[in-house]
Structure 1
Amino acid sequence: MPARHDDLIRLDAALLALRRLTSAPPALPGLDQDGSPVEVSTMLVADAIARSAREDGCSINDVAQALTVAHSTASRLVDRAVRAGVVTRNRDADQRRRAVLRLTDGGRRLHAEAVAFRTGRLAAVTAEWSPTDVATLTELVERFAADAHPHLPTAGRTTP
């Protein structure tokens, strides 16, 4: 049975309202060479690389898939993250056309701080909720994310 139109309108409004919940933490220190604040896109690139959990690093294509953007867009975002000192980019020894991306120490620190910030906000928002309600919401959001982007691993199968 399809969802009611009114419910979809409410869901759309709720999702738009939540967009800022996972945005950049305002207090994270800038890592850019010029000391400017780190861009949200740089944090998303760091998150994509960290969540890939591959020992041999990941590729620009992996970042593009994780962020659901075109390869050229991912390449520009990775360039920005490299300039910010968050990511290293090296050529793959076996596949010269493939770039191998890894987080720097600063990138790992940025990722950890961003995850701590976001989970702290989630804990504050759900502080009055029962553990069962939080688990139910988590399962439903994971299901929604998996259905919206079936090619991506769900949050429950990745590591922060």
Structure 2
Amino acid sequence: MTLNIRRVVTGHNSQGEPVVLMDDRGLYTSQWRPQMSQQQLWTTEDLPVALIDDGEDKGARDVVGTTIPGGSVFKVVEFGPGVTPRLHRTDSIDYAVVLSGEIEMEMKEGLSVKLCAGDTLVQRGTVHNWVNRGEKPCVIAFVLLSSTGHAAYG
């Protein structure tokens, strides 16, 4: 299970003209639990985002947890069948697009939603877990934007 997503990053040259700065495939992948892999595509440390070209490949940045305080993370995650459970809450508002496959997002005992290719999700800091009960991997693109505070849980 290794993602191999093509990443194209634009910017400007010294004359201020638009250029392609990066065009690569399969960089910054990780597998930190069984049956799950991810490819980090880009990150920011600020919102709103500064568009100054500093030459840094912000896809290479280490992210502790799921997002960067005050910033954003763009990544693609593949959840294989039988992915190891990880009940968690993000410190972000997460925009997700299911690119392929099917998955269930469990929120608490008895509450889950099934998502299929083409479905979208706006995940607003709730406790959740991704469960793939199917026979094929599910691939989801995520944009995680840093947020302030959590709603009450209990």
TM-score tier, shorter chain, comes to under 0.3
Q: Going by fraction, where is strand more abundant, 1 or 2? A: 2
Q: TM-score, normalised by structure 1?
A: 0.24
Larger Rg: 1
Q: TM-score, normalised by structure 2?
A: 0.24
Q: Going by fraction, where is helix more abundant, 1 or 2? A: 1
